[in-house]
Amino acid sequence: MRPFLLAMLMASLAWTVEAAAGEPENTPWFTAPYTGEKVKSYEITLPLSRYEEETFVIPRDCKKLNSRLLEGAGHWGNRVQRRLWIKADDDCRYLNYLNKNPRKAEKDFVSDYDFFNARLADLPLRPGCDLYLLLRDPTACPDPLPGMPDFSMLMMHQEHPGIPTEIPGADPQQCRFRNGVFRGHIFFVDDSLQCEEDHRAPGYRILSVDYADVNGDGYLDAVLRMSLIGTHGRPELLVLPLTRFAPEGKFSLPQGADYPRFGPTDEGWLP
């Protein structure tokens, strides 16, 4: 079986949750194509073949969009239209991720936290890796999961050649997001994080924060949609699910809540 068709079949398995009547209860905000407007739904017209088009209302028509993708329609259109296929697929998969567990969370230790101004030390800088293990020996950490942000790419270590013990301009107070954006350099000095904000450096932007119990363990999870900024790579939607089990506890990845994602290419979606 061709990789593209195999990936689409896998994608269809990921879309296992459908809304009961009407829209799903947990509907996030989306970015409308072309305008960038923040909306709860949007309309998009995409090519099905050389001479045929179809209009979808996302998220209402996510199931129909998935069927068209499985039929190979995502190959049609120019570069912009193929990327719009990817965007609509991303939005539908994200909606399904938030709603795959129909039960209400019994405990909530995440919704009172200001993620748009989050301290970097509160977040898993590389998902699946303890912060201090990452600081001491990044090679001992597992590779970052596909589709999740990896702050360790912005980190420089004291033992790195050219990194002094004292970092002029670096400050622990700068190790945080500000209104959803962090751009700068992360240093490990004297067993602590220090950061230097730099608007010319790579970083991350938090696009939205949604809440759901994505793994059904009874604890509410926060799901951050993010994008890498300040690089020449293609913009990519990154998703970071977070949970914690006490009001002042550390955030971690919800167990068994991996985000179902396939890396897009100009030729299609590949696993």
Tokens of 133: 């293990």
Residue of higher predicted confidence among 118 and 142: 118
pTM reported for the whole predicted model: 0.77
pLDDT digit string, tens, across residues 215-249: 999 999 999 999 988 876 666 788 999 999 999 88
What's the CA gap between 68 and 75, in Å, rounded?
10
Q: Which residue in 24, 47, 23, 46 sits closest to 33, CA to CA?
A: 46
What's the CA gap between 15 and 223, in Å, rounded?
18
**If you average pLDDT over residues 196-208, what whole number do you get?**
89
pLDDT at 199: 87
Tokens of 157: 């270590």
- Flag whether pLDDT at 164 surpasses 60: no
**If you average pLDDT over residues 174-199, what whole number do you get?**
85
- Flag whether pLDDT at 86 surpasses 70: yes
pLDDT at 140: 74
| Other CB atoms within 10 Å distance of the CB of residue 164 | 9
- Flag whether pLDDT at 5 surpasses 50: no
Read off the pLDDT band of 135 (50, 70, 90). Answer: low
What's the CA gap between 23 and 142, in Å, rounded?
38
Q: What percent of the chain has pLDDT over 90?
A: 38
